[in-house]
A and B are shown apart, each in its own frame.
Chain A
Amino acid sequence: MATDATLPTRPSGAGGARLLEPPNGQERGRLRRDRLIPIVTVLATVVTIAPLIAIIAFVLVKGLPSLNGQLVANAAGNPSAPGALNAIVGSLQMVPMALLLGGGLGLLAGIYLSEFAGSRTRQLFGFLVDVLLGVPSIIAGLLVYSTLVAANGSSAFAGAVALSVVMFPVMMRATEEVLRLVPTSIREASLALGISGWRTVLSIVLRAARAGLLTGTMLAFARGFGETAPLLFTAKGSDALNIGDLSSTMSALPLFVYQYSRLPDRFFVAQAWSAAIILLAIVLAINVAVRARSINTRVE
């Protein structure tokens, strides 16, 4: 047995004593940093959650006092008891319409990319859609302003179109990703039964992915429901209760919050906060529902 001459020889049994040696300066510094880093990251995490809690608390404190029946019963144009019904009803018209336009388009485009496009087309369009997802929503508003609004004036329809531009890429990405999770073996099983290609997509693939598609739809809906910027120059806002007249201006909840919070009258500012509660509650409810669903499906 050859021993390596370069290795220092120590008496055996020294290990225990070395364990008991007090830490030197370098080691003490390292120990301190080891304790510090987790604390810093925990603090950072708390700070990032703080805005959510602050938002909810702030909105509740400021908005609860004037959150009453009048707010949801009357339109802002009501001379004796103004409310925000026009904004609630406006959101409930424009957002579903935008979902029909942008969501429907996004669904079809997502189906194309997942089921029919070649890999290069898929990459190219995927990239373009990611860019579209990153475009500030005010630009979507400007686009519709310079086309539809320039030609026909402000309208609820223009507002819905602007919202659909924001919702389209959300829906398309969600659709594509969810459909690609459906295993190829399921498509092959369908085709091997003599089921045609489009039937396979419609009745087998979409059905297999329906939970994920619903999630995508809800996310697109929540996204559109919370957007203000696309509506600023398009639907413009209106104090009158507009039901079904898509060629006139129309209010929406986020638009109401934005416009009323800037008015000098404290009563209207308080109403803006109350409307913010409703807006926040709806958007958060959708998001929480989506998360709860995805947790459930993961457990299955």
Chain B
Amino acid sequence: MTVTEPRPGMAQPVMLAPARAASAIEPELRPLSPNEGLRIDDLNAFYGSFRALRDVTLQVRPRSVTAFIGPSGCGKSTLLRSLNRMHERVPGARVQGKVELDGVDVYGPAINPVRVRRVIGMVFQKPNPFPAMSIYDNVVAGLRLSGTRDRRVLDEAVERGLTRAALWSEVKDKLRQPGTSLSGGQQQRLCIARTIAVEPEVILMDEPCSALDPRATLRIEELITELRTAFTIVIVTHNMQQAARVSDETAFFTMDDDRAGYLVEMAPTTTLFTNPTQPLTEDYVSGRFG
């Protein structure tokens, strides 16, 4: 390794090419077997009679960061919510097709959606700590409300979760204060800690930084980079620079004339941003469209 890549910082101009890509990722990604990671096969998602997603097929690599990008309304959030069965919560919403985690059908008849969401966690656009709950109670909410009562286990989960979410040093002396008393960026890291505390395999992030200022955004992005060794992360983002900075692979979606979203192409992030195969992708990443 002769060249040390600079990290994208505030002082530097934001580059489209991910700064750490060359050092952190193998240039040639290992081919995946069909039973690895999160495999989405011919997925269609509907709201009533409106088709929001059409025939999406892709595979999310385990223990890596996959970004979903595309213009507003292209269905990337719907796709994300289909992966942990949150989509079906909306009245009239349904999916067709397959989502498999490590070869197991997430929509299988014997599968309890509650269990799916424990294994495939989610972080939302706006930080949403539980009101009327302390920082401590927020972190252990998932464990406690699923039956874990052992105080020692909970204490450990709080410290581990907050440490992994890079929040421990800031809040360790005020765990009893309400979660809503933290700043926006801290609240979002608290929500990440809460998600990590139930030990999911996959973490879905739906535009996790769109409500945050650039400093807080940077903290979350650094955190995502650290978490990718332990979790499979899928992040929806409007911000192409963000996708370029944090993700290993990127999927680009857009929508048709009938407003159904579809996958245009998916590739290693560097390739997608520097050498896309589809003209639509090139237009989008170069800022000509969207």
Contacts and interface: CB of A to CB of B under 8 A. Distances in A.
Interface of A: 118-119, 183, 185-186, 188-197, 199-200, 203-204, 207-208, 210
Contacts, number: 76
Contact of A193 (B91, B132, B133, B194): B194
B141 A194 contact: no
Provide the main secondary structure of the chain A interface: helix
Given A189-B124, A204-B141, A210-B132, A195 B146 contact: yes
**Closest 9 CB pairs between A and B?**
A194-B118, A193-B142, A192-B122, A185-B128, A194-B117, A195-B145, A189-B128, A208-B131, A199-B145
Given A194-B142, A195-B142, A195-B146, A188 B86 contact: yes
Contacts of B126: 185
B195 interface: yes
Interface string B229-272: 00000000000000000000000000000000000000000000
Interface residues of B, number: 28
Contact of A186 (B84, B114, B118, B130): B130
B132 A191 contact: no
A193 B140 CA distance: 10
B114 A196 contact: yes
16 contacts: A189-B128, A189-B130, A190-B130, A192-B84, A192-B122, A193-B145, A193-B198, A194-B116, A194-B121, A194-B198, A195-B141, A199-B146, A200-B145, A203-B141, A204-B130, A210-B132
Contacts of B84: 192
A185 B131 CA distance: 11
A191 B145 contact: no
B288 interface: no
Interface in B93-131: 114-119, 121-122, 124, 126, 128-131
Contact of B128 (A119, A183, A197): A183
B151 interface: no
Interface in B146-203: 146, 191, 194-195, 198
Contact of B89 (A189, A191, A207): A191
Contacts of B124: 185, 188-189, 192
Nearest to B85: A191
Contacts of A210: 132
A193 B141 contact: yes
B142 A186 contact: no
Given A194-B117, A194-B118, A186 B128 contact: yes
Given A194-B142, A207-B132, A207-B133, A188 B91 contact: no
Q: Which of A186, A188, A194, A195 has the most CB of B within 10 A?
A: A194
Nearest to A207: B132
Contacts of B141: 190, 193, 195, 203-204
B146 A194 contact: yes
Q: Which of B86, B118, B121, B141 has the most CB of A within 10 A?
A: B141
A193 B142 CA distance: 5
B117 A118 contact: no
Contacts of A193: 117-118, 121, 141-142, 145, 194-195, 198
Q: Which of B119, B121, B145 has the most CB of A within 10 A?
A: B145
Q: Which of B119, B129, B146 has the most CB of A within 10 A?
A: B146
B178 to A, nearest CB: 11
B130 A208 contact: yes
A199 B142 CA distance: 10
Contacts of A195: 114, 141-142, 145-146
B214 to A, nearest CB: 23
Contacts of A196: 114, 146
A209 to B, nearest CB: 9
Contacts of B119: 194
Contacts of B122: 188, 192
B114 A194 contact: yes
Nearest to A194: B118
A189 B123 CA distance: 8
A195 B198 CA distance: 10
A84 B247 CA distance: 77
B271 to A, nearest CB: 32
A186 B131 contact: yes
Interface string B55-86: 00000000000000000000000000000101
